[in-house]
Homo-oligomer: A and B are copies of this chain.
Amino acid sequence: MSKVDIPGYTYGTAAVPQSWLTLAELEELKKSVLFGDDDVAALRESLPHLSPLVDEILDVWYGFVGGNSHLVATFGRKSDGQPDEAYLAAVRKRFGQWILDTAQANYDQRWLDYQMEIGRRHHTTSKNRTDGVAAADVVPLRHLIALIVPITFTLRPFLEKSGKPRVAVDRMHQAWVKSVTMQTALWASAYVKRSDY
């Protein structure tokens, strides 16, 4: 899979600083979200089913954000408050790749480092910089955490399209809930003092 054609997608490159967390601390975080080898397998099981549906999934997520003025506000231009369509489009490409990366579940040092970068891109630290836009300064932390729910709830029907038995859909869905919650916990690092994190 070629990834180099996604602007700003720096996963695995030297442009990404090392994470605050060690891999041992990542293992602790996995324990906190009950994430084990069976979840890695379940995420990878979801990959071939979700891959052809990435655009449909993004349509649902973008529809949700677009339908909530307090959420689409983070894409709002400082000049006139209107959503920056080019910014929305640039993020969408990386968001689609994020679905694939989450399902591939190679949660190693490079992945850990890139999660911290994703966090910074939601925070004033480096929001807007990747895409060269002048939009809202920050994705408020409370909504970043809240979005665990719509992201995972709306994914379930796409997992059901796999035609797999309910127990398999449950397994894939639970692995997704664990991973998205864990990633949100990683992204939150950009918002707090290291000693509080």
Contact = CB atoms under 8 A, between A and B. Distances in A.
Contacts of A137: 195
A29 B195 contact: no
A191 B181 contact: no
Interface string A169-197: 00000100110011011101101100111
A34 B123 CA distance: 23
Interface residues of A, number: 40
B188 A188 contact: yes
Contacts of A32: 68, 70-71, 142-143, 146-147, 149-150
Contacts of A138: 195-196
A149 B178 contact: yes
A177 B174 CA distance: 12
A6 interface: no
A140 interface: yes
Assembly of this chain: how many copies?
A: 2
A124 B174 CA distance: 32
A98 interface: no
A196 B145 contact: no
A197 B145 CA distance: 10
A69 B10 CA distance: 35
Interface in A25-43: 28-29, 31-34
A62 interface: no
20 contacts: A32-B142, A32-B147, A32-B150, A34-B153, A138-B195, A138-B196, A140-B196, A141-B188, A141-B196, A142-B185, A142-B186, A143-B185, A145-B145, A146-B181, A148-B181, A149-B177, A149-B178, A149-B181, A188-B188, A191-B192
